[in-house]
Structure formats: C-alpha cells, structure tokens
Structure 1
C-alpha cells in the first residue's frame, strides 16, 4: 500500500533481454484481484532504450453475480518513467473502462493518451478496480513494445482564448461534454457542430481524468465559438469540473475525501485559471455522489442533462446553501447547468448556462460564472430577464445585490420567451412564495412585490406542467438569485 491514493504495486514486467533494432516484443500478465482491493493497482513495466511505441491491451472476466451485487469493472491508464507521484509529471493517459487497448508514441496516441517520446525507465500501467465481484476479478494485461526510430513530437495547438463576441452581452455555453477522448462517442468535430446547431457561444472540454483533448480542436473554434479547456476530475467520492484551466493542465484524481487532498487540487485548478465546479452532486451512479463538501467550490452544477429527480435534489441542496450564506454573511455559490452529453441521444446544450460577460473571452466568461451573473435554460429558445427595482429607481440583476432599505417596496420582474405552457415561480430564503402562469405561446412577464425584510434573496424558476400530482413540473429555466438589502458591515 502506497501513498494517499491507496495502491497495490505488482511485480515488474521486464523487457531486459529485448533490444531488437526493429520489430516488437510482448509480455502478458495475469492475475486476480480480490474483493476489497485498493483503488489502484500499479503494474511496473521496465522499458529499455530504443522503443518507439508502447501498446497495451487488457481484458477481465465478468462472472455472474446475485441481483443487487456489483459485478467487475476495471479501469486502465498509464504513467511514464517520470513516476506516479500524486500530481506529478508522469501522467500519460487514462481511458477508464471505455477502451480495451491503447498505444503511445512520439507523434501520436490513442485518444485519452498523450503523445510524446517513449523514454527508457519504469513505466506504470495503472489498473483501477472500480467494482469487484464476490468471486474476484481475473484480469490479463498484454504489453507490446515496438522498437525503432521515433518521429518528432508535434507542438500542441490549443484553442484561442477569445472569440469575436458582442461586447457585454449574454452568452450561452455548455461546460460539461465528453468526446472520444474519454467515454463519449462524438468526435471533437461533431461536438463543435452540435454546439453551433444548439446556438452556443462557448463550450468547455471536460474529459474524465485526462487533458488529451485540449489539443484536439484545431480548426474547430472560430469567431462564433469559444472553446475552453478543462477536465472532469473523476474521483471515487464524486466528480468535479476543472472548468477553463490553462491548456495542457492535468489535474489528478487519485484520492478520496478521507485523504484530505482535494483542497490541494482545487487550488491547482484556480492557480491555472480555472473554476472548481462539483458536477451532478446527487447523481446515483457509483462514485458520482459528491462527498468533498462545497468549501472549495466556485460554482456547482445543479442541472445535469435531462431534468431528473437527482437534479431536483441538487437544486434544493443548493438553495439551502444560499440560505446558509445569507444568514451567516458568507460567500454564496452560484449554480450552473450542463448537458454532460456523451452520445447522440444526449443533446449538446441541454441544458446550457447563459452568462452575462463583458466579452466572449475565457476570462470574461469565467468571471461571469464565478460572479453568478447567469441563468440556466433547457435550450437556446428559452431566454430570461430577471431584475429587482425599488421605489427609488435602484435596480439589480441576476447575481447582483439591490442595496435597499429593509422596508422599501421591491418589484421583481421576470420576462420570459420560448417557454409555452410554463409557470413562473419566485423562490426566496423562506421558500416558494409566488407563482404565475405564463401565456400559452411562451412569451410573457411575471411580477412580484416584496421587501428586503421579507426576502433576503429571490430567484426565479420557469417550470413545465406537472407530470405527477403534488410535484413541480420539469425545469425549463432557473436563475441565480438577486439579493435584497444592505450588505452587513
């Protein structure tokens, strides 16, 4: 057992006697991992000089298990001769359980993996027993080294950090997307086309535990589409979006909440210019439920893909953080929504975060998300304007504060387009206090009057008709809050 990320190290795989000028050599490793195995298993591979390519394939058994019992699932990745230190420079790729084989060489690599020289030394194939059946997990790993002269490694080309934009305006984006560089099925070109078709102005590349896609967008960004680079840091205790980090940034994921390591990597995300955004915090999949707390969060992904009960729980949980923030005079955490689209049946841009930003640049978009100047909509057909105004002519918008006396009347106004048959809802720190039907054609206005003494903040929701009695309908859009009253000094 080694390190904060609990790991088991197996015996070395040696190619010591394999040094052909050309050709290849193969070694096969077999074993069994018992239930309760560590999170990660290191398989060291001694790589001699003169190797131009490493190819790895693997398979494992799927024995039948009783109903309600998890079967076998085994992830895979690789680190080079620079080592496996947590957050170190040795990372060369990860495909989780999405692939059964991969290769790396100087000029190319399987998506999810990083092209570059194959240096001599101890490489490490990283196995991740995600779940292990009661019978154990029988595996076989095949490692092939191909010898010969290496080609040059191309210089990576990263997306531009600005697009043309419209000055200070509302910009639409989807910051949680997966391509063939992790477990998605779309290519970057297909994602870019889908983003444009969905009316998006920006996207963020967020592959599971790899930054290989950062250099995969050449020719796909443009004046009409800003491409941010990031990662979905996929730990055993929840997923977090490293949103808008510097191109080429890798954020490690090999830790649990009990290891007390997340703060370090949250700081790494911010140090490289990005935002820390816990993703789908109440998702039901194994390892998806967020257990690191929200003390490091810059925003939280409240709505993930088609609206589900998981999202409803996330929304209520987020609303509780707003209540705690206003009562304790603490920083509040903005909400956002993203599609988490992996395949064609999940639409890019459903939902999308609409951000008020000074321009269509990386810096301006991230500033808008961080400040909460945003709302979430199910598509580009839905648009909102939400403002608070008092009798003295002062006003504030989404994510802002209306500094007004506690007893001065305040008017909240929500203008909606593209939401036929929906209902407007005004939610405060006391809960849902006002609803109003919107016109059948989908364009209309709802108003509500209150005071800062009665509502510390107000946020707006637009809901479809109820599907079940006693429960609110699916979400069409919601805003971050407008805060009311003077700031406590």
Structure 2
C-alpha cells in the first residue's frame, strides 16, 4: 500500500486557476519565450519559472501544467510544494502527487510518459543520461511538456501549491541502452520456487535500493521477485548485476488507480501501463489486456485495503490471480480470503475459470519483511514463462517464510491423484477421496481443510511443526478442498493468523 504523503513547506495563498473543465483541468502555460527568442544561450545556462495556484475541493484526478520547452535544453528539473493545513477530525487534508509527460502529449496510454513519483518526493530531474528514480532518462526535446499534478485529497479550503521549473541548456547528451534482467535463471529444473511479486524501491515510495531488495530476497530464501513500482517502469533497468543463477528478477508495475491497485507481474521489460482512470470510465479491461499482451499477469492487490483509493472496485473478471495476503496478516486479508473463497464457489457453480490466490509482502522499508508472505510456485524451470504459467494455473501455495513447506493433494478411485491447482476426477460422486497435507516448519499451528461448505476438518500439528494430516470425503460432499495452516487465536472471535494457504484441489465425480 502507498506510504503516507510527506509534508511540504508552507507557501503563500497566491495565484488562481486558469482553466477548468468537468473532467480535466489545464493550467496556464509556463513560458520560456524570452529564452526561445534569444540568439545565443551559453551551455550550462539555467532559466527558472515558478507558478502558484489553488486547487479547489472536487478538482479532477489529474491537473496538467503545460511547459513550453525551447530548443537546446539538456535538463528539465521540477520541484513543488503545497500547504498542508490542519483540518477537523474525520476530514481529509491535502495530498498532491506529481509526474511528467513530454512533448508527445498526455493522451491516455500514449507515448509521452516520462515519470511519476506520486507524493514520495518533492523534486525530480530528467536529462539524456540520467533521471531521478521514478523518471525515465532521455533527451529533453523541444515542445510542450506537461507536469501532471494529482490532487489525491483536497482540504475544504483548497490546496495551494507552488511549482518551480528549471531548464538547463547545453548539449543533449546520449542515452545508454537499458540493461534489463534476463528471463531465465539456472534454477533446479521442475521444482517449487519461492517468490515475492509486490515490492517497492526508491523508484516509487519505497526506501530500499534495488541492491538492498535483492539482498533481502536472497536472505528470505526467495528464487524470484517482481519489480512493481507505483505507476512507473523506471526500475526495470536498475537491476544490473543483482540477478544471478539463484535469483530471477521479473519486471512489472503496481498500477495505482483511484479505484484500486493492480500488480502487473512479469511484463516485457520497459512496459509502462497507464493508471489514469476509474472504474466508471470502463477502461480497465483495455489495460488488463495490454498487460497480457506484454506477457504479464493481472493481479488485483490488497483488494480490501482501507487507504484512500486502495479498495478494489473493478471486479475480478480480468484477473489472472488475486492477492489475498498482503504483508503481515490482518483482518483486511481475512476479508480478501473470504471473498476469494466465495469466488471459488461461484466458479464451481458456473463452470467458468477460477482465479488463483497469491500472497506478497508489499515491502517498502524497514521493518517490512521481504518475503512475508511468499508465493511458492510449481514451475518447470526458473524462468519468466514457467513461473507465470504456474501462478496462472494456481499450482502454488502461500507461506509466511521459507522455513515453511507444504505438500497437499487428493487421491481416490483407481490410483488417481491431483495436486494443488488440479482436478481429481473419479467415477461417481460418492467415490471416497483422501485428502493429505504434509507440513514442515509450523510449530504451534493447526491445519484446516476448507471446502465449498466451509471448514470441515481441523487438526493440531505436532509441537515440532512437522506433521501429516489426512481426511476422507467425496465429490458429492466437497466440490473442492484447500488447506490452511493457522497460528493460535490471538484476538477472541477472530481466527488465528495464517501461516500458510494452498490453492484448491477440485473434486469431480
């Protein structure tokens, strides 16, 4: 989930909006006309303009500040600040995000995107050879650029802001070709691989470097991770030297809309997915398909999170999987788990495809633990295609750490067996089926077998945390069975926190 917006220094309440519309707002252009008309601008010369204004309550989600960039600019730098007055209890205060689009324009899904930092930092720069994390290095071409302001929340008296634009002149410079992570790692052949697909670095609102994330992933016993910064692809090329035979680095994005967040997992390196729409705009399906065309998976994140704009509103019709466990286990995750279980019942009833569950840490900074939880995937090899295929098929379980191992499946009839994410087909609805769970690394926990009726069997695990649990049922009694491993109850009236969770085995007579 996004971190709280940092405070910015107070500014004077000066300036007015120039133009407004019902669905968009464009401010007056920031002009450098005097520079453009000058005969000779020396290298390293700088020119600065500052604009001020007030965004009213009810402002559009995105407000664009056009900047007329003349020829000969080597670098554009932007800083901003806004007032954060005290507001009454229960009232939202001011929070203002920022990003930028270049001369190619702000068209939804267009080519003009050059970076986004949300509320994580108060300034950024772009030049050919480098850019602030969250932004894309490249030439600063002449034309009308647009600073994108996102009034996340606006206080009752409005949001006074100040934006300063500085242009530095000189040779354009060159942009190095990005080096992206390879799509294969050595791995162990067909095996269970552990991964965390929701992580944040300095390229959005995280505090860790990519090197620190890679080190934490290895320490957590992970085999793969996914780069998932808020609304930017800038980190895709920031993993040089950090992958290896033991660590596969996937590239993606946390598409952070005003109606929920979705993690794009394993998209083609360099892919950026637009986020500037709400559920009412009927655009999510288009961008979900764009994620899949780029080779990735569409995974709604923390669907019942309570932060503003985090609760998932787009439905699950386009989901390839859903994040039911996000970071330290909370009641929000318990609600997400229950909703997901209901979707399994609906899939059985309708005969439509089911949506697998996964878990990720959403780690931003210390003390967030990378790999709490982690999705453990049965894949043919440690590669992008194989890992994504395993997640998509539901051949996976979720564990709180690499110390916890599960083996789960069902057998019946004439020696038939099905594992996690598979279907066990037997002759007759009354054919006995044996469900078996093997657990290692869960001391003090209990095992639960959950079906379309609910939890039908519970057993305590040995104090060592290693044990085997079996239960017999039939397809007539249970349309599917999945396993949960839970810690003891800590809050009366609520179930114990999850230690592990499997995707289901479906039973068919």
When the two structures are superposed, what TM-score results if normalisation uses the length of structure 2?
0.94
User: Deviation of residue 239 (structure 1)?
Assistant: 0.1
Does 1:375 find its partner at 2:400? no
1:312 corresponds to which of 325, 334, 358 = 334
Aligned residue for 1:197? 219
Aligned-CA RMSD value: 1.1
Other-structure match for 2:9: none
Are 2:368 and 1:346 equivalent residues in the alignment?
yes
Are residues 1:138 and 2:138 paired? no
Tell me the CA shift for residue 358 of structure 1. Answer: 0.3
How do 1:49-448 residues align onto structure 2 when only pairs under 5 Å count? 49-404=71-426, 405-448=428-471
Q: Deviations for 1:53-99, whole angstroms, at most 9, x for unmatched residues?
A: 00000000011100011100000000000000000000000000000
2:35 partner SS: coil
User: Match of 2:35?
Assistant: 18
Moved over 4 A (4+): none
Select the residue among 439, 453, 466 that pairs with 2:489.
Answer: 466
Q: Matched residues in 2 for 1:333 and 1:9: separation?
A: 41
Write the distance in 2 (CA, Å) between the matches of 1:2 and 1:90: 22
For residues 468 and 125 of structure 1, the distance between their equivalents in structure 2, rounded to whole angstroms, comes to 48
Q: Specify the SS of the correspondent of 2:255.
A: strand
**Which of 454, 478, 481 is matched with 2:477 structurally?**
454
Q: Residue 21 of structure 1 contacts residue 50 of structure 1 at CA under 8 Å; is this kept in 2?
A: no
Query: Aligned partners of 1:472, 1:356: CA distance in 2, in Å?
Result: 28
Is the Cα–Cα contact under 8 Å of residues 6 and 40 in structure 1 kept in the other structure? Answer: no
Residue 18 of structure 1: CA displacement?
A: 1.2
1:215 to partner: Cα distance: 0.2
- Return 5+ residue gaps in structure 2 as ranges: 1-18
Conserved 8 A contact 1:239-1:290: yes
Q: Quick one: distance in 2 between partners of 1:374 and 1:440?
A: 26
CA distance in 1, matches of 2:292, 2:94: 36
Instruction: Give the whole-Å Cα distance in 2 for the aligned partners of 1:423 and 1:57.
Output: 53
Q: Deviations over 1:400-449 (max 9, x none)?
A: 00011311100000000000000000000011100000001100011110
Q: How does 1:21-60 map to 2 (within 5 A)?
A: 21-22=42-43, 23-60=45-82
TM-superposed deviation, 1:7: 2.3
Query: C-alpha separation between the residues in 2 aligned to 1:153 and 1:467?
Result: 55
- Matches of 1:330 and 1:2 in 2, distance apart? 45
Confirm or deny: 8 A CA contact 1:177 1:207 kept in the other structure: yes
Q: Give the SS at the match of 2:292.
A: helix
Could you tell me how far apart the structure 2 residues matched to 1:325 and 1:174 are?
A: 27
Secondary structure (helix, strand or coil) at the match of 2:288 reads helix
Q: Deviations over 1:110-153 (max 9, x none)?
A: 00000000000000000000000001100000000000012210
- 2-side partners of 1:186 and 1:13: how far apart? 35
Aligned length: 485
Equivalent residue, structure 1, for 2:499: 476
> Offset at 1:21?
2.5
Deviates more, 1:263-272 or 1:7-16: 7-16
CA drift of 1:2 comes to 9.4
CA distance in structure 1 between the partners assigned to 2:432 and 2:33 by the alignment: 81
Is contact 1:245–1:272 with CA below 8 Å preserved after alignment?
yes
Aligned partners of 1:418 and 1:215: how far apart in 2?
A: 36
CA distance in 2, matches of 1:446, 1:163: 35
SS at match of 2:291: helix
